[in-house]
Structure 1
């Protein structure tokens, strides 16, 4: 497999892991009485945030990599490990769901909350020198599609998959963090 294909595959897996947050929360929000137009805007907004947050993270990570070298690589791997553990653990907490409706300011808060982890992953990717456009395109497209899928499924089923999807996303991020750390040694 070529290096571009391998990087694309890795980025798609990471995008899937990050998008599982949006999917699982979208699953719960899909149980609100939302019109299809609202579902469309929610997905687009989450996708935009999943482009902006990792882009800022990648730019910051690139600067850190140039400045601090191996230490920055170690930090990037540790960030992915911690993020993966946090996502995995939070998936088993019993939350009642979002306190804000996904419209107006509530949509902004929702999109920001599900994309904050994208900043950390972007930071790690910037440290490791990933292709910026490919990474943010993967993150934005996958997050948008998974959000739409979660919202749509939430309209049709009860939240039986939500916790497990976020746990899967956390496990994938943890595995990538471990892979990045093992590559240093």
Structure 2
């Protein structure tokens, strides 16, 4: 995967965490810098770990699905992208998307909830020749930066910008899945 592809993937995977962080920052009012950093660390670590778990599961199953791996990668990436578009258009409960509690347990649960898409993407990455450590590190660092910044910017920009970012990320993931499918089918043809 090219550096640009990794960057697009990292930003796309981080948008859910950014949107939730913006909501948390807006709900808290004036989040302290330490709270923003804590949010970034938790979201970043969880978001970096989940694609590795998905990748490991995908590697374990790859020998059984090698003939259709490009379709699986497309379906997972496109599905996650479409799900992000659905959420951005209002398909989720905003109160559930942006918990206001400062509890570490609630923060971890929220981070896991926003990172399930990264696990699905990790499964699709198992069918490609990629360095999962580099990709996971890029996703984790990007999520850390976007979540910490989202907390601090939440009061100023509110949920509207977070929703726009989620729409763009959904489109980007769908496009990445489509490019994988087109590239593979072009190699066969």
TM over 0.5: yes
Q: Which has the higher helix share?
A: 2
Match of 2:3 among 8, 12, 27: 8
Given the two structures, how large is their TM-score scaled by the length of structure 2?
0.88
Q: Deviations over 1:25-54 (max 9, x none)?
A: 111111114322111111001000111100
Corresponding residue SS for 2:89: coil
- What is the CA distance between 1:102 and its match in structure 2? 4.3
- Within 2, Cα distance between the matches of 1:158 and 1:129? 39
Unaligned runs of 5+ in 2: none
Unaligned runs of 5+ in 1: 1-5
Match of 2:93 in 1: 95
- Within 1, Cα distance between the matches of 2:149 and 2:45? 16
Q: Deviations over 1:125-178 (max 9, x none)?
A: 111121111111111111111111211110333333121111111000000111
1:56 aligns with 2:53: yes
Match of 2:168 in 1: 168
Match of 1:44 among 31, 36, 41: 41
Corresponding residue SS for 1:129: coil
Given the two structures, how large is their TM-score scaled by the length of structure 1?
0.90
Kept in 2, the 8 Å contact 1:30–1:151? The answer is yes
- Say what the alpha-carbon RMSD is for the aligned residues: 1.6
Match of 1:30 among 17, 25, 30: 25
Kept in 2, the 8 Å contact 1:19–1:143? The answer is yes
Q: How does 1:88-127 map to 2 (within 5 A)?
A: 88-93=85-90, 95-97=93-95, 98-99=98-99, 101-127=101-127
1:72 aligns with 2:74: no
- What is the CA distance between 1:86 and its match in structure 2? 0.7
- What is the CA distance between 1:100 and its match in structure 2? 5.5
Match of 1:85 in 2: 82
Kept in 1, the 8 Å contact 2:36–2:149? The answer is no
